[in-house]
Amino acid sequence: SQIQDVNSDKVKRAKNMAFAFDIDGVLVHGDRLIPEGKKVLDMLNGDNQLGIKIPHIFLTNGSGKPESARTEQLSKILGNPVNVEQFIQSHTPMRALAEYYKTVLVVGGEGYRCREVAEEYGFKDIIVPNDIVAWDESIAPYRVFTEEERASSRPRDFSKINIEAIMVFSDSRDYATDMQIIMDLLRSENGRLGTVAKDPVSQRIPIYFSQGDFLCPTEHPIPRMSQGSFRIALEAMYKALTGVDLERVVYGKPELATYKYADEVMASWMDALHGEERVPENIYMIGDNPASDIVGGNMYGWNTCLVRTGVFQGGENDEENPANFGVFANVWEAVTTACRKQL
């Protein structure tokens, strides 16, 4: 019975801890598994001495697909179930914006798949850059527009429509076209293409970005440019053309709103797993990017673990945003160290 007591204490402590996983550079590289990622999830999903599930959510700046499609794909890669209810992509909290804007330009994603994401979020009138190119090809002078793209576009007379807001949901697949159209809209009178506002501020429509990472680890050996790089280029162009700063809203890690949203998801996932709707006391964020995962987690009072399998390639710890729980070779080392401390 002593063993039982020790175990029930451990179970109690296990229910008071949780993990928030970054995905790219921690569990996978693009679509390639990082083997320790599967090992960690096997363990947290019950393959451990206590035989219990330890709650974890996925908090990724990744984007571009509906949550259901991405979790299905990740479940296969990771060999473990990834439920939409424990899953936050950079644009997931932007669902709330559907209440405020009807006609929106949605940018990013393969084959403009973000149209589908925006539909799921409840946006009523969704326009993607290809719809605009199909209406007036001269808007993007260097674009080669294929028949296939034309067939999947939905052109209308955009000189008669006011676009109310711009939502950059994911990485642009064509910087030249997307930047040109975004800049046209930001400089227009209330989102009407073909116009140029006299006052660049009062008639400007708002622009939202789903995340701010400059770099993203991929299959390529050196991290690739991401949405943050696209945004600073737009900001610089806008400033040069109009003389004023571009106001914008950025979601994703390390923005506070994203961590608050993560808390809500964590509490309801705790409810699903343990029948207790609350946020556990000890949360561990495992990330590879000091400038997003780690700085955000530190500000939010989480324990932060930096791994060496992604963006971070530095020395003992990151100099600007050091992880407060430590730096680890990989996700397995981080999670098992946290479990040893807590249990």
Per CB under 6 A, 61 contacts ligand G3P: yes
Per CB under 6 A, 60 contacts ligand G3P: yes
Give me the least distance between CB of 83 and ligand G3P, in Å please: 17
Partner whose binding site includes residue 60, from ligand G3P, Mg ion, none (CB under 5 to 8 Å by kind)? ligand G3P
Give me the least distance between CB of 302 and ligand G3P, in Å please: 15
Partner whose binding site includes residue 213, from ligand G3P, Mg ion, none (CB under 5 to 8 Å by kind)? ligand G3P
Options 62, 66, 93, 129; binder of ligand G3P; rule CB under 6 A: 62
Torsion of CA 319, 324, 328, 332, to 10 degrees: -150
Partner whose binding site includes residue 129, from ligand G3P, Mg ion, none (CB under 5 to 8 Å by kind)? none
Task: Between 86 and 226, name the residue whose CB sits nearer to ligand G3P.
Answer: 226
Residue indicated by tokens 């080392």: 333
What residues between 8 and 27 interact with Mg ion by CB under 5 A? 22, 24-25
Strands ordered across the beta sheet of 103-107:
125-127, 103-107, 165-168, 207-209, 249-250
Residue-wise DSSP of 120-153: HHT-SEEE-HHHHHHH-GGGSTT----HHHHHT-
Per CB under 6 A, 109 contacts ligand G3P: no
Q: Is 166 exposed, middle or buried (0-12, 13-18, 19+ CB in 10 A)?
A: buried
Task: Between 16 and 330, name the residue whose CB sits nearer to Mg ion.
Answer: 330
Contact 33, 61 (CB under 8 A): no
How far apart, in Å, are the Cα atoms of 65 and each of 76, 113, 181? 16, 6, 22
Q: How far is CA 168 from the centre of its chain?
A: 11
Strand pairing report for 224-225 and 32-33: unpaired
What residues between 283 and 322 interact with Mg ion by CB under 5 A? 288-289
Which of these segments, 19-27, 48-56, 201-209, 301-309, binds ligand G3P (CB under 6 A)? Answer: 19-27
Per CB under 6 A, 67 contacts ligand G3P: no
Which of these segments, 11-19, 59-67, 76-84, 273-281, binds ligand G3P (CB under 6 A)? Answer: 59-67
Give me the least distance between CB of 61 and Mg ion, in Å please: 7
Q: Is 221 exposed, middle or buried (0-12, 13-18, 19+ CB in 10 A)?
A: exposed
Torsion of CA 288, 291, 295, 296, to 10 degrees: -90
d(C-alpha 55, C-alpha 24), whole Å: 20
Partner whose binding site includes residue 188, from Mg ion, ligand G3P, none (CB under 5 to 8 Å by kind)? none
Positions in the binding site for Mg ion (CB under 5 A): 22, 24-25, 288-289
Positions in the binding site for ligand G3P (CB under 6 A): 22-25, 60-62, 213, 216, 226
